[in-house]
Structure 1
Amino acid sequence: MLKLDSKNGIILTGVLSVVFAIVYLALMDDYFWRYGSYDLGIHVSVLQILGSVCLVIGAIKEKYKLFVPWMITCGFFLYLMVFLGVVLMVNDNWIFVPVMVVPFTAYLSYALFSVQKAFDRMRKDEPPSYTNLDGKKDFISHI
């Protein structure tokens, strides 16, 4: 089974995040524009695509600091999905809630948790930058 906090799992998460954002953008013109989240949806989806590109590059190059943009944009995208689910339920358009909103939100929530675990693990594995300082032997006290 593929663990989402592994390198391949993080790459898969980045690719699926791009797919989710593109699906949202494709369906938004026909279904979601009348619910008031049109501009917000466009901006958050584009940010999600850019954050996903950073996530994939960070996973490939093993640069954990590139995970942060995706984690931030994923939070915004999760907010957008929850907002969309509530608005669709209020407006009696139930078909998209179990088909799109719930699976996207569930997967991205679990993926966000997994990427956070990988981020913490990679951050703890990297030695602190101050351990390589050789300048201490050349330091002369003013006293």
Structure 2
Amino acid sequence: MVTRTASERREERRQAYDAYLKECPARQLLDRISDKWVSLVLVALSDGPRRYSELNHTIAGVSQKMLTQTLRSLERDGLVTRSITADVPVRVDYELTPLGHKLMPVMAAIKSWAEENIEDVLASRERYDRSRPDND
């Protein structure tokens, strides 16, 4: 058995959660929550439980397959729960878990920043595109 110093153990733990490393679990989580469908689903659920059909109507452009995959991945990660009510027809609701709610201030801030700064970003893109000689 190899004995490590406290400093070596701290360094090992630090590297285990270094998001710049491909294998880092934190990086995998960042990859998940930076997905456009994930962020839109989370924000859509921030006001409370929603049925699948409500989510599908709220989030423009998402296919049924992508919405289903996104909801399953969020459920697997513990950010969303799925509840089935035995009505006729069967009712399926999705809602944020306590862990999902903890993520919402970050997601809301990103959404708000995007809405507040889109004009500047669009203007910057236009300036950049005009300055490029390869744009005809």
What TM-score, normalized to structure 1? 0.29
Structure with the higher strand share, 1 or 2: 2
Higher RCO (Cα < 8 Å, 6 or more apart): 1
Structure with the higher helix share, 1 or 2: 1
What TM-score, normalized to structure 2? 0.30
